[in-house]
Amino acid sequence: MPDQSLTLIQFLLEERRRLDADRDLTTLLHSVATACKAVSSSLKSGALADVLGNLDTENVQGETQKKLDVIANDIFLRRCEFSGVLAAMVSEEMDEVYPIPTQFPKGRYVLLFDPLDGSSNIDVNVSVGSIFSIIRLDETPEEESYDAVLRPGYEQVAAGYALYGPSTMLVLSTGEGVNAFTLDGNIGEFRLTQRNLRIREDGSEFAINASRARWWEPPVKRYIDECIAGESGPRGRDFNMRWIASMVAEVHRVLLRGGVFIYPKDSKNAELGGKLRLFYEANPMAFLIEQAGGMATTGRQRILDIKSNSPHERVPVMLGARSEIQRLIDYHSEFDTV
């Protein structure tokens, strides 16, 4: 067990000294962590504070907004906009790029985030999370346009998530491996609890929304059918299925127990490109998974290589243990070359 007395800011300062990292990145990560603590506090009160339930509004995705979706988004904006290091922010809950208010200094970083992912689970008290991705631009852009701030996932300098579960955890990477912190309610600080997470290759869990099986492409169906066939099938071993409908919780399980998480493009969502959003769901999670020794693909392309100037673009996501994801890539390649 790593040195649990190490708080997040001590860890970040240690890492900055060791790697001669950018002081501004440390500032931004500390602001994001503070936002996650504030979101955690809002969630904990639940029904007691009349924060559950839906608003009569929809976000840019056309999804009904939960009260806590808007509360969490506002928390991220307020806790990060004054940091003095941001050029702009991009959120799942906002149609346009969020320009940093003129009263605050600006910087070269772009924060892209899903303030409350899996929020449909809130009203039934199931784990949800916040996801963030950080890009460093060459210089502070003159205009806060999507063309100026959207960059491919391989340019991320940091990414992570907060998981609001039985405990509140912060899992992040600045490109030097993946580390996990647990919120200590006694001191209100995240403390290092798992250092350098690595994805196991012998995991036996697959996560997919099996109710969509009739719409899957053949390579996805082949992979899942073989897992279900288990010991008597081509895989020669049994598997187990999980589906929490909260990407953050699924990815956290993959980081700790291996296996895969799959949300493919299928015949029903093909026009949208899939379900999960590239810039604040797929890219940050792909960054973490690769930093932990795994792989993250659309089935046909490395997620971090995808170039797009559409802020809310959706992509197929298959991520997890390297050998399992490589098998999915091979099945897609075989299918496409038939």
Name the site residues for ligand P6P (rule: CB under 6 A): 117-118, 120, 209, 245-247, 263, 275-276
- Exposure of 143 in the CB half-sphere (CA atoms within 13 A): 5
Which residue from 143, 144, 172, 169 is spatially nearest to 157, judged by alpha carbons? Answer: 172
Minimum separation from the CB atom of position 243 to ligand P6P (A):
7
Residues pairing with 173 in the sheet: 159
Closest CB to ligand P6P among residues 85, 207: 207
- Report whether 181 contacts 5 (CB < 8 A): no
Closest CB to ligand P6P among residues 25, 122: 122
Minimum separation from the CB atom of position 149 to ligand P6P (A):
22
Minimum separation from the CB atom of position 294 to ligand P6P (A):
17
CA distances from residue 178 to 15, 182, 191, 195, 285 in whole angstroms, order as listed: 12, 14, 14, 7, 11
Closest CB to ligand P6P among residues 78, 268: 268
Of how many residues is the chain composed? 338
Minimum separation from the CB atom of position 206 to ligand P6P (A):
13
Minimum separation from the CB atom of position 14 to ligand P6P (A):
32
d(CA 141, CA 288): 27
Minimum separation from the CB atom of position 27 to ligand P6P (A):
28
Which residue type occupies 150? L
Q: Where are the beta strands (DSSP E) in the chain?
A: 54-58, 64-66, 86-91, 98-99, 109-117, 128-136, 156-164, 168-173, 179-184, 189-194, 205-207, 240-242, 260-263, 276-277, 295-297, 314-315, 317-320
Distance, first Cα to last Cα, the chain: 50
**Structure-derived torsion over alpha carbons of residues 175, 249, 269, 308, reported in degrees to the nearest 10:** -20
Closest CB to ligand P6P among residues 11, 263: 263
Closest CB to ligand P6P among residues 83, 121: 121
Q: Which residue is nearest to ligand P6P (CB)?
A: 247
Closest CB to ligand P6P among residues 117, 144: 117
Closest CB to ligand P6P among residues 247, 319: 247
- Report whether 180 contacts 197 (CB < 8 A): yes
d(CA 242, CA 224): 12
Minimum separation from the CB atom of position 174 to ligand P6P (A):
24
